[in-house]
Each structure stands twice: as structure tokens, then as C-alpha cells.
Amino acid sequence: MERLIKSGVGWRIGWNPNALEFKGLVGTDDWAIELTEAELNEFCRLLAQLAETMKQLTAELMDEEKIACEAESNLLWMEVEGYPHEYSLRFILNTGRCAEGKWNASAIPGLLQAAGMLKVF
């Protein structure tokens, strides 16, 4: 399998199965960080979990009501903030390299879709 990088306006995510240590990549147009396979798997899992939580909250919130929701593992911390249909995403890497990143709300639908399909190809 070859290296794969998917990108859209304001986001990119990648997978390189042949890399020795850092097989994953997440970022925007302006920054990127390489992730280990475990970190990338956890990023994709927590992103999907947060997106599902926001979807479930749609019926419980008023249209103008904003919310912040977070998820954490021993590898990383993530937070979505905004409206159930439009929210930004932040993450902090909890492992040795310590990094932080953020995506604007407009980037989330594409990032979410790509993260869900990243290792399926």
C-alpha cells in the first residue's frame, strides 16, 4: 500500500503504512504533525465519537445554543465547540512530542469523512 494524503479546504490527513514510526499525519493548510499509528487511530476514533455526540445533541439544543464537548484518552485530548451542525475541533497530543492543533468549523465535514475512510482504501 502506498502513502495516502487526503486534503480539502482547511484540512489534511494522511497515512503511510511504510513509515517506521510516524505513519499518520493530520493538519491544515498552515500546519501538520505526524502521528504514530496508535495516535492516528485514536484521533479518528475520538473524532467520530465527538461527531456522533454532537449529532445526538441536535434535538436537545435550541438553534442558537452553542456547546463544547470533549473526549480524552491516554494519547490525546480533543474538543469540539460550536453548534451541533457546525463546530470547530481542537486537539492536544498527550504523548512525548506534545502538540496542539485546531480546525475551523468549515473543515470538519471533509476531515470527518476522510478520517472515516482513511485506512479503508
Length of the chain: 121
Taking only the tens place, the pLDDT of each residue in 75-97 is 999 999 999 889 999 999 998 88
Higher pLDDT, residue 118 or 113: 113
Neighbours of 75 (CB within 10 A): 18
The whole domain housing 44 covers 4-117
One-letter amino acid for residue 104 of the chain: N
pLDDT-derived band of residue 118, with 50, 70 and 90 as boundaries? confident
CA dihedral sign, ordered 21, 26, 29, 31: negative
Please tell me the total count of domains within the chain.
1
> If residue 46 lies in a helix (H) or strand (E), which one and from where to where?
helix 37-57
CATH number for the domain that contains residue 113:
2.30.31.10
Confidence (pLDDT) at 121: 41
- Give DSSP secondary structure letters for 88-116: EEEEEE-STT--EEEE-GGGHHHHHHHHH
